[in-house]
Amino acid sequence: MTIDGQTVEIENERNVLELIRKAGIVLPTFCYHSELSIHGGCRMCIVEDDRGSLIPSCSEEPRNGMIIHTNTRRVRRYRRNILELLLANHSRDCTICFNSGNCRLQELARSFNISSIRFMNTAHSPHMDHSSKCISKDPNRCILCGDCVRICNEVQNVGAIDFAHRGSDMHISTPFGVPLAESVCVGCGQCAAVCPTGAIIVKNDINKVWRALDNQETFVTVQVAPAVRVALGQEFGLGDGENSIGYIVAALHRLGFDKVFDTSTSADLTVIEESREFVQRLQSWHDMPLFTSCCPAWINYVEKHYPEIMPHVSTCRSPMQMFASVLADEYRKVPGKRHVHVAIMPCTAKKFEAARDEFVTDGQPNVDFVLTTQELVQMIRQSGILWEDLEPEGVDNPFSVYTGAAVIFGVTGGVTEAVLRELADDHGPTALKKLAFVGVRGQDGLKETKITVGGKELSIAVVSGLGNASALIEDLKSGVRKYHFVEVMACPGGCVCGAGQPVVPLSHRAARGKGLYSADLLTSIKRSEDNPLMATLYDGLLKGRNHDLLHVHYPGHKGHHNHAA
């Protein structure tokens, strides 16, 4: 077919839009995402064919001999008109919008040089929804592209929101308009990541952290999750997936944090605890397969959608909470300044996890505040610290050592690989390296592998994306699949693609996983158990208390006693 005079070969493109992109032309879109179903709602991608018909290219199948014009006077005029109509009912207070500068509507309005809107704003300004700990929903900024609806339904299989009512009354809503916090929303934040405007945004807790840092009476510690280091740098001109942990630590020190730690350290604890729990469950064969428990959106998903699965979920706290328990024990039991703990996470659901009753000790949450990677970017910018002038620094004692097994926790398959390193019969470097090739790495939504440990063949599955998790649970129930161990991360691709990370196209996110594997190569110790700090902790602070401090019984676990020592 012909696009703007160029002949383009039709291969397997699902629509004319993809072909146009192949021809080197990027049409503006709001509602089109290659990983989601085709909606055809925003109409921005209209093109003209040789008969003068205007067609939305996303909803048109490519046919032999088609002649398409993407940039005629008529198309430009219509596209501009459509954009103006989209802007008509949009709250245009860009300067106070969290997504300002990161908004496709703003970007297009600028590139179309729109300086006035001819149409009246007839929006009904329904109420904002601030009920969720993770995200806020502002219907005044919504352009009804439906991206959030489709990612929630199709990718995450959560189905918390959908279009409601019709015509000028249409808006995105939970059933009966209940607040998000009371809906089946799990807080994964993927809707916010995909929203082209600022209609769904991640909750911002920066000011609370500034207050804690300003307060002379507080001792503020911070932990940084593995996935943060391979995404934050993108905002400061580093390449996709480049590891910036040294700069992050330096920036956090400059911001005034008293001690900076790396969540990788406590991920080593998680590997050890989870491996032990797995071996014990394997021996006594109760509640198998074992599901991982690091991902808070996954925990929410189990509680709200598959409560019957909860006994299968490991009782291990997430690495963030394991660290928080240890730090609370270290710093809150001694007289002195009030200890405040902050966690920098790639994740929106961690904000919910931090507030859970299970993780509150003596009225104070073990993690006082969770900031996303994007919020840390904002803090650095607010402070005026020049990224280029930072000198990389290391994390602080006494919790400074971590292994390669822990660093890869942030990518799908990483937790599994870390546990396999722990359980492997052969601890030699070659054998450990080989584990990279057993099928746990890569961006696929479902990865399966079999590995022999202690003469027993184990079936393992790694899923990312809650839709994939739900399909797997259904298969387990019907007996189609059988596993011993299942790793689940709610966000497709794992934590590196979390909704708290800077938003970049899907194709750029794969590099983040690679960045973590490179970070693993840089570490000297590959197995969590070989981390010398672990021995110190188990003989000291954790002695006889590892169960109390490192495990958790969610309400769904009740009635099932735990076998992990």
Partner 1 sequence: MNQIFDPIELDEIVKSQSTDPSAVISVLQTIQEKYRYIPREVFRPLSLKMGISEARIYSVVTFYENFSLDPKGHFVIKICDGTACHVRKSMPNLERLRKELDLPEGKVTKDDLSFSVETVSCLGACGLAPVLTVNDKVYPAMTPDKVSDLVAKLKEELANETH
The residue (of 144 and 272) whose beta carbon lies closer to partner 1 is: 144
**Active-site residue 543, yes or no?**
no
Which one of 174, 263, 264, 300 is in contact with partner 1 (CB under 8 A)?
174
Kindly state the smallest distance separating residue 160's Cβ from partner 1, in Å.
Answer: 6
The DSSP H or E segment spanning 267 is helix 263-284
**Interface positions, 457-516, toward partner 1 (CB under 8 A):** none
SS (H, E, C) 481-541: CCCCEEEEECCCCCHHHCCCCCCCCHHHHHHHHHHHHHHHHHCCCCCHHHCHHHHHHHHCC
Which one of 29, 136, 173, 443 is in contact with partner 1 (CB under 8 A)?
173
C-alpha triplet 326, 495, 240: angle, nearest 5° = 120
**Interface positions, 181-210, toward partner 1 (CB under 8 A):** 183-184
In terms of DSSP H, where are the helices of 6-138? 16-22, 73-88, 104-111
Contact between residue 129 and residue 22 where contact means Cβ atoms under 8 Å apart: no
Distance CA 1, CA 264 (A): 52
Does 531 interact with partner 1 (rule: CB under 8 A)? Answer: no
Contact between residue 276 and residue 549 where contact means Cβ atoms under 8 Å apart: no
What residue type is assigned to position 333 of the chain?
A: K
| Per-residue contact flags (x/-) with partner 1 for residues 92 to 131, judged by CB under 8 A | ----------------------------------------
**Active-site residue 152, yes or no?**
no
**Active-site residue 358, yes or no?**
yes
Does 300 interact with partner 1 (rule: CB under 8 A)? Answer: no
Does 153 interact with partner 1 (rule: CB under 8 A)? Answer: yes
**Active-site residue 318, yes or no?**
no
The residue (of 27 and 161) whose beta carbon lies closer to partner 1 is: 161
Does 307 interact with partner 1 (rule: CB under 8 A)? Answer: no
The residue (of 153 and 531) whose beta carbon lies closer to partner 1 is: 153
* DSSP-based three-state secondary structure for 34: coil
Does 175 interact with partner 1 (rule: CB under 8 A)? Answer: yes
Which one of 162, 258, 287, 393 is in contact with partner 1 (CB under 8 A)?
162
Distance CA 266, CA 534 (A): 9
**Active-site residue 375, yes or no?**
no
Distance CA 192, CA 142 (A): 12
Segment near partner 1 (CB under 8 A), from 65-73, 173-181, 440-448, 482-490?
A: 173-181
Q: Which of 125, 138, 122 is nearest to 180 (CA)?
A: 138
Q: Which of 442, 491, 510 is nearest to 156 (CA)?
A: 491
Does 546 interact with partner 1 (rule: CB under 8 A)? Answer: no
**Active-site residue 350, yes or no?**
yes
Which residues have a catalytic role annotated?
Answer: 274, 277, 294, 314, 350, 353, 358, 495
Q: Which residues bind partner 1 (CB under 8 A)?
A: 149, 153, 158-166, 173-176, 183-184
